[in-house]
Amino acid sequence: MKPLNFQNLLIASLLGFSTLFANSYPLVKAQSVKNVSFEVCFNSDTFVRPSPREYIKDKYVNYRGYRNISDVINSPNWKANILRYDSYYGVSGLTDIEIYSGVYYARVRDKNFATGLDKCSSKFAETNSSSAQTQVRLFSYKLKQIKWANNKYIFVVESRNSGLQILHYRKTRQDLASGKTTPIEVIDTKGRLLGRCEYDCQLKK
């Protein structure tokens, strides 16, 4: 391992994960590193996706015409640990998102769960008229921190056995100006890289 010079240490300190960023990532200028604040609008500690067998029997899924369960369980939404939305998806889009990610199974069985989801989606619709806000849905993970570095977002997450967390953050000025899809890199609280993605992330444990 190469010894860390002062610049490496400074950048690593700013990021808060010295080992990961000093040894695994290209150097970025210190002034380009910033914290991105976010607001958690929904959290369930107990949510788990149903089994395919349970899901295909769900009367609502059948009513909507999703009779081929393989279309659902093989979709990116079903397998993802993180789903990111840069613009509001509409009512119909929301229904598809929740069915394909397994969330609808809990929605139709828990009134409080459904109310929390609706409040979160309504807030996203109200605040995202200029597409400045992003919504993130995390399955079996909690987001602890967001960094903006080297033209990408770095999500610091904590693993858990179950759960669904939905949050919003405002895009950085650089992200808005780029007009492009900004990548995400996901690391755990020990600095281990879990994945790289754009809109749907299936993380390694």
Report in angstroms the alpha-carbon separations of 179 from 94, 132, 171: 24, 11, 11
Nearest to 166 by CA among 113, 128, 108: 113
Look at residue 61 in the predicted model and tell me its pLDDT. 62
As a whole number of angstroms, the distance between CA 130 and CA 133 comes to 8
Nearest to 204 by CA among 113, 119, 140: 140
Cβ burial, residue 70 (10 Å; 0-12/13-18/19+): exposed
As a whole number of angstroms, the distance between CA 34 and CA 31 comes to 8
Q: pLDDT tens digits, residue range 24-47?
A: 444 444 447 899 999 999 999 999
Look at residue 60 in the predicted model and tell me its pLDDT. 63
SS3 label, residue 137: strand
Pairing of strands 152-170, 184-188: parallel
Look at residue 57 in the predicted model and tell me its pLDDT. 76
Q: Are 62 and 83 in contact (CB under 8 A)?
A: no
Ranges in the chain, pLDDT < 50: 1-4, 6-15, 17-31, 63
Look at residue 56 in the predicted model and tell me its pLDDT. 74
Q: Are 119 and 152 in contact (CB under 8 A)?
A: no
Look at residue 127 in the predicted model and tell me its pLDDT. 83
Q: Look-up: residue for tokens 């299936």? A: 202
SS3 label, residue 89: coil
Beta bridge pairs of residue 83:
137, 200
As a whole number of angstroms, the distance between CA 115 and CA 107 comes to 8
Q: pLDDT tens digits, residue range 125-145?
A: 988 767 799 999 999 999 999
